[in-house]
Amino acid sequence: MKKPDYSALLNYLLGSLLLLPTISQALEPIAENGISLETCELVVPGTPLSTMAECGWLQVAENPAEPEGKTINIRLARVPAKGRTSAADALIFFAGGPGQAATETWPIVAGALRKLNEDHDILLIDQRGTGQSNPLRCPQLSLKEMLAFDWDDLAQSTHDCLESLDGDPRYYTTTIAMQDFDRVRAALGYESVDLFGVSYGTRAAQVYLRLFPNRVRTMVLDSVVPQTLALGTDHAKNLDHTIFRVLEACDEDADCHEAFPGTAAKLSELIKKLDENPVEVSVAHPTTGKPQELTFDRETMASSLRFLTYSSDTQAMLPLLIYEAATKNYFERLASQMMIAATGLQQSIAQGMELSVVCSEDFPFFPDNSDNSQYLMGDLMLKSSRIQCAIWPTDPVPANFHDPVRSDIPVLLLSGELDPVTPPRYAEQLLSWFSNATHLVAPGQGHSVTGRGCLGRLVSEFIIAASMEDIDSSCIEQLQPTPYFLSLTGPKP
């Protein structure tokens, strides 16, 4: 079966860990406007990362047009301000994916925004279909099934997923979910909110702003998805652009070039070789340690490299891994990296919710005559979407869904210079839609950059001040790509 596209999570799996705030005392249960909040621990699946919060539930109609019909429970959490006073506006965090849950990903970025949390409550809402909000999770596949590109089985596994769900996928789209978010805001008594979205979460934040413009004080978008974009149409092109920039920079680095000369050309040769003769490899399962047999072909190669491009830390490994595959036919370490990421994805993405978003909001706007055969990924996205979205139930999105969202509120846009999914040019488009926007590009960085260098502090200061006017952002110039790995032990000492 073809592995579904779980792009936005990869930076979280492959990036560096952040410092976590500490909670000095337990939080007492509290009830607000009918929502009972109790002390809880928010945990990132498959990791030791966690933070304390207050958790509760809000009941909503699954189909907004039938308020007396089936209801679902929306999971919410609040991380109260740590200081003695709390600002009137709370920060709403929009997770990526689509398919991630805010309560399961916040601990990863919490350390970067600890300054903001001193006087701002953090509001986390598991978007319907994710986390504990009636999750639309497909039956868990074996790792071998996830990594195998069996197009014949993809339709059947999609049918199996659909039949297993306790929910109607038509009602798990971004527009409907943002109405849930505003109900939570109102129930907890916040008159205004600040928005912080990462990757797909930047789309969700823009939709919320369009629906409830008078409720939004500021907005931060990290790794921006333009509202006009059918997400996925540029994935193949963007991936190649990033990979070859990284490899060309290796040729310009004396140590990297000496260790791995001409890696960009070798990658092109390697792709042709795998097209003609796929390689059988055996790698250890990342959790059981048992040998796992895997056919390494062009599609597997594309997935492996894609996993490694999300973070500057793993981009630094690309020349080493590509060179040893091209010159020694050694693919095991590339395959191992992919398997580690794939294992984490199974735990963190609600695949049914992802399909509800992709098949309703993106796939109908894919070009009919797309041809990405010149790129490493080829037409993987289009081919898999055609199969799955022909099965997945959808309703049309609002007619203006892909129209630009325009506003004069303070907006901060963040991009990684080497982001393989949402490159800086995406954020540049929004500068013409938001009259009070600033765009910061993190040099040498990949996808999701708030946790890098001083960017978390800048985000916090921007939200507190509701302006970038008096904030010195020159510290981002100190950011650099992670030095290239010259061996498995890391960069040159």
Summarised one tens digit per residue, pLDDT across range 380-392 is 888 899 999 999 9
Question: Cα–Cα–Cα angle for 441, 100, 449, nearest 5°?
Answer: 15
Q: What count of Cα atoms within 13 Å lies in the side-chain half-sphere of residue 192?
A: 13
What is the spatial distance between Cα 402 and Cα 271, in angstroms, rounded to a whole number? 35
381, 371 contact by CB (below 8 A)? no
CA distances from 287 to 128, 294, 348 (A): 30, 16, 16
Q: What is the pLDDT of residue 334?
A: 85
What is the spatial distance between Cα 29 and Cα 75, in angstroms, rounded to a whole number? 16
Q: What are phi and psi of 76, to 5 degrees?
A: -135, 155
Q: What's the burial of 258, exposed, middle or buried (CB within 10 Å: 0-12/13-18/19+)?
A: exposed
What type of residue is 242? Answer: T
Mean of the pLDDT values across residues 271-282?
89
pLDDT digits (tens, 9 = 90+) for 400-455: 999 999 999 999 999 999 999 999 999 999 999 999 999 999 999 999 999 999 99
Residue 146 has pLDDT above 70, yes or no: no
82, 118 contact by CB (below 8 A)? yes
Q: What is the pLDDT of residue 112?
A: 97
What size, in residues, is the chain?
Answer: 493
What domains can you pick out in the chain, each with its CATH number?
Answer: 7-139+167-229+400-478 (3.40.50.1820)
What is the spatial distance between Cα 490 and Cα 307, in angstroms, rounded to a whole number? 18
Q: What is the pLDDT of residue 18?
A: 29
